Structure 1
Amino acid sequence: MGTKRENITADNSWASDHEHILAKSLFSAGISWLAVYLTEDHIALDILASRVDVDPERLGCAGLSGGGLKTVMLGGLDERIECAISVGFLTTWINFLLK
């Protein structure tokens, strides 16, 4: 598809039109996009920790925007993360409140 403006616009339009279907399918299966991302991050962390040039006792992560949110979640959910640095991510305060 490349990076031509019309292709990007067409892809974004298609994704926007089908986002609710994908979200409902994931929720019906008991998972979310964030769960999919975190599963991928756990696998990446497994691969990183298995490398001979990496000390598995000194793992950390950092991120900005979507990566910032993923950093907060991964740092809280994986005991192997010794240092998690979220530069920032966008949200609303209501998302942090328990209802």
Structure 2
Amino acid sequence: MCNYFFTVNKLGKKIDDYYVNKALQLYLEGLTYREIERILGISHVSIMNWVKKYNIKRPYNSEYHPTYKILNALELSSYFQSPENIKGAGVIVTELGDKFMLIKWERFKE
């Protein structure tokens, strides 16, 4: 798993809404506050505050935890060319600056 840090655009002391939305999306996908902090470069405390402020609730499932990768466009294209990478799994791709985050989880995990 790659860790990249992204520059967060701040408007004064306010973080750009784009990053607030990304952080909340990643939270709903099952990533922890600290994982989101490492990916977006935003304090985990800020993320916790947004989850509370917007009353975001995710379903509780202790066995569900997706894996994620940070890829550039060429790596993403190559990833999808291999059928074994996506067979039997759910995949979501979201933009992160000039990179892409691929979130994957096993659909039929026992």
**TM-score scaled by length of structure 2:** 0.24
Relative CO higher for 1 or 2, CA cutoff 8 Å, sep ≥ 6? Answer: 2
Larger radius of gyration: 1
As a proportion of its length, which structure holds more strand? 2
As a proportion of its length, which structure holds more helix? 1
